[in-house]
Structure 1
Amino acid sequence: MKKGFTMKNTSYDFTNLIDRHNTSCVKWDFFDDDLPMWVADMDFRVAPAIQKAIQKRAAHPVYGYTIVPDELFEAYINWWDCRYEFKMSKEDMIYSIGVMPSIASMIRCLTDVGDEILIQSPVYHVFFYFIQDNNRKVLENELIYENGAYRIDFDDLDEKLSRVKMMILCNPQNPVGKIWSKDDLARIGELCKKHDVILISDEIHCDLTDPGVKYNPFETSSDYDKVITCLSPSKSFNIAGFQSSVVHTKNTELLEKIRTQMHVDNSDACNVFAATAVIAAYNHSEDWLEELKEVLYENRCTVDNFLKEELPIVKLVPGDATYLLWLDCSALNVHSKILGEFLRTNQGLFLSPGHEFGEIGKDFMRMNIACPNELLMDGLRRLKAGVITLKNFNNGL
């Protein structure tokens, strides 16, 4: 991590604070916390091209039922081809209101009640909920944490894939911020093929890498044919509220099953603003995204330097993607649930407790750094004050 990282001159506004209170905002209105740094959306102003396109569409006085235009699929196809050499066609894609609704539909149509579904913990906590809420069982292939970094336990993965019909992969990995290598992805594909397991690859955080770093799409890293990729601009461009994503697979049998289920679930409809936002994002907002990545990297460096200099008992797990940082709090000897509750009560700081991402994460906290520097520094100071208060309290017992 560069201690003296200097960001290039900016063209967009990533510094001014935007008051999101009283906008029915999940992050700022749902809970009564002073500083929420948990849910995965950004406190930055959206790319100007997106706001302009939405305002233009809003100026039309009718907001009726909306079809998904070809331009939306073309925007996806061009984006992934140009940036990642991931070639898709419209015939292999299904529009969806979101990645998680898509995964829920796939769980229902491609597995049976009581089946085990494999995930690699620590991982996005909603994976657990959606598997269990659909009356399936979670099977965890726990990542190995060694020398401050994570890697896949392939022996355990091989054994456990023999017991399941489906695996859900997170690439880049949320919350640890790791981009899986082409070799890792190819090996996962080989093991899924060996055990005839359907692989769902959630790649929603793919664009949010460190500057100059690219993620590896699963479908360009493996020739396995029972793979379904979930893609969306919602994290990259902070437009999750428009509820838009696509599912991609070249397996026509799986595609038709998914299409039927998503229609039954009514998760394949497009709201009146969604396509407009997506097209403006992919076709006209790439410069904004590249500048955002510089800002997020600067924020990552800020956190790393602050912890090393001001709070060395907490360590940043190195990552190269997402704006979600994974903090190693194991030296505190406090379960993440207790630590999270203490920080909220004592400091008004809401971080995500690591145990929510699997019990293997009980010594960690997840921190959202997609915010102006002023908010980030406020959060870091609150974290330091809370940890010091907690240590003093425990030492007095």
Structure 2
Amino acid sequence: MQYNFDEIIDRRDTGSVKWHYSDDTIPLWVADMDFKAALPILDSVQRVVDHGILGYTKPTDALYDAIINWHSNRYGLDLTQDNILFSPGVVPSLALMMQIFTETGDAVDAVLVNDPIYTPFMTKVKQNKRTLVMSALKEVDGKYQLDLKDIEAKIVEHKVKLYLLCNPHNPGGRVWTLSELKALLKLCKKHNVAIVSDEIHQDLTLSGHTFTPLLEVAEAEGYAHNVVSLTSMTKTFNIAGIKGSMIFAKNETLLKKISQQQHLNDEYELNLFAYTVMQSAYEKGGEWLEQVLAYIEKNIEIAIDFLAGHLPDIKVMRPEASYLIWLDCSAYGDNDQALYDKLRAAKVELNSGIKYGSEGHLKMRINVACPEALLREGLNRVYAAFSGEV
């Protein structure tokens, strides 16, 4: 079927985090899409409601098969049921991984993340009383690269035990290549540093780029005992309000340790609707995903062309995955809060880059996963804010 992504759906007064305003602000920030979920997903929810019994639920063989087939067919990742654990979300899993790979107390272990990075990578390290170590990404030819020399120096200096990788990267949109992943894994293996890879944006990889699961590389390099991948159907299919994610690992001892800690935390089950939509998404959501990616790519071009024509001093980092675009707005101010306030005064909201680390200074993250008409109006308001019309 053909989906209509131009449809504008009123999300105000629904409890939406993204659309919480009392005025006509256009939100181009929080990472969810303003598109209806795929019909097979909505139908699966309706079938549960029609059945009328919302009792205790466990994952079925059909659900496991849907997960295994999706990742095998798309990425060549070979999984069995034993390799898959369920979690309420990727962010809770980040906290869980610190319990698995690091210690606190008298000798606090260090956790390394890149800068800039999705905010919970930093906050969860601090909240769990681990030492946060940051390695700035290098911008080369308009895209981020890992600074392996700096990463190794930080690992040695701070005796880092765990590296939290974001692949594809949020907010920069990089899809790390096989060679980059091999180099990073070789370095971490050299210093016995565990790697946890957040791969929630994997299915939103854009044309011309190839996503490589880190576990696939780790297994080939004999380091799977120290590598875990985290992913979810929620970003892929715009169902973030239905919490649910997966933890993938290949080593039996590691899987047992994770499972035991999950049971201690009581964080090993999903709800009925999460299991239901996860299965329907992976079994029947491919058509919707193909169409929404085409629409997103069109919107990315619209945004890049608009900014080039109206605000050419904004440096745009073209994403290789997802619907989030990283913007360098340093030509329009020298204060992060002032830049954000300019946009809010124009009744448009973007994510302030400084929330993603010091490398986000004077940058903004814009979400283009919305109907084209909303995007164009939002971009006009960005222009009004930075051109002094507001």
Q: Calculate the TM-score normalised by the size of structure 2.
A: 0.94
Matching residue of 2:194: 198
The alignment partner of 2:115 has SS state of coil
1:132 & 1:181 partners in 2: Cα distance? 29
Give the partner amino acid of 1:173. Answer: H
Give the partner amino acid of 2:153. Answer: E
Structure 2 regions of 5+ residues with no counterpart? none
The alignment partner of 2:204 has SS state of coil
1:13 aligns with 2:4: yes
Report 1:238-253 matches (<5 A): 238-253=238-253
Report 1:119-134 matches (<5 A): 119-134=113-128
Which segments of structure 1 move beyond 3 Å, counting only runs of 4 or more?
Answer: 30-33
Give the partner amino acid of 2:175. Answer: I
1:84 & 1:198 partners in 2: Cα distance? 22
1:115 aligns with 2:124: no
- Residue 149 of structure 1: how far off its partner (Å): 1.9
1:104 aligns with 2:74: no
- Residue 316 of structure 1: how far off its partner (Å): 1.3
1:384 aligns with 2:351: no
The one of 155, 165, 176 aligned to 2:172: 176
1:94 & 1:147 partners in 2: Cα distance? 39
CA RMSD of aligned residues (A): 1.6
User: Do the aligned partners of 1:102 and 1:262 also contact (CA within 8 Å) in 2?
Assistant: no
The alignment partner of 2:272 has SS state of coil
Matching residue of 2:130: 136
1:368 aligns with 2:370: no
1:270 aligns with 2:270: yes
Give the partner amino acid of 1:200. Answer: V
1:340 & 1:138 partners in 2: Cα distance? 26
Matching residue of 1:216: 212
1:255 aligns with 2:251: no
1:96 & 1:32 partners in 2: Cα distance? 36
The alignment partner of 2:9 has SS state of coil
Identity of aligned residues (%): 38
* Structure 1 range deviating more: 64-73 or 93-102: 64-73
Matching residue of 1:46: 37
Give the partner amino acid of 1:351. Answer: L
1:330 & 1:254 partners in 2: Cα distance? 45
Matching residue of 1:165: 161
Matching residue of 2:323: 323
Structure 1 regions of 5+ residues with no counterpart? 1-9
The alignment partner of 1:214 has SS state of coil
Report 1:215-234 matches (<5 A): 215-222=211-218, 223=221, 224-225=223-224, 226-234=226-234
User: Do the aligned partners of 1:165 and 1:198 also contact (CA within 8 Å) in 2?
Assistant: yes
1:149 aligns with 2:143: yes
- Deviations 1:51-79, CA, capped at 9 Å, x for gaps: 01111111122212211222222111100
Give the partner amino acid of 1:39. Answer: V
User: Do the aligned partners of 1:53 and 1:276 also contact (CA within 8 Å) in 2?
Assistant: yes
- Deviations 1:125-159, CA, capped at 9 Å, x for gaps: 11111111111121111101233221111101112
* Structure 1 range deviating more: 29-38 or 204-213: 29-38
The size of the alignment, in residue pairs, is: 381
The one of 20, 30, 35 aligned to 1:29: 20
- Deviations 1:34-60, CA, capped at 9 Å, x for gaps: 112111111001101100111111112
Give the partner amino acid of 2:386. Answer: V
1:193 & 1:109 partners in 2: Cα distance? 17
2:16 & 2:303 partners in 1: Cα distance? 25
Distance 1:274 1:118, change over 3 A: same
2:155 & 2:13 partners in 1: Cα distance? 46
User: Do the aligned partners of 1:124 and 1:357 also contact (CA within 8 Å) in 2?
Assistant: yes
- Residue 240 of structure 1: how far off its partner (Å): 1.3
- Residue 30 of structure 1: how far off its partner (Å): 7.0
User: Do the aligned partners of 1:230 and 1:246 also contact (CA within 8 Å) in 2?
Assistant: yes
1:221 & 1:325 partners in 2: Cα distance? 28
- Residue 238 of structure 1: how far off its partner (Å): 0.6
Matching residue of 2:346: 347
Q: Calculate the TM-score normalised by the size of structure 1.
A: 0.92
Give the partner amino acid of 2:197. Answer: S
Give the partner amino acid of 1:220. Answer: E
- Residue 212 of structure 1: how far off its partner (Å): 5.1
* Structure 1 range deviating more: 219-228 or 18-27: 219-228
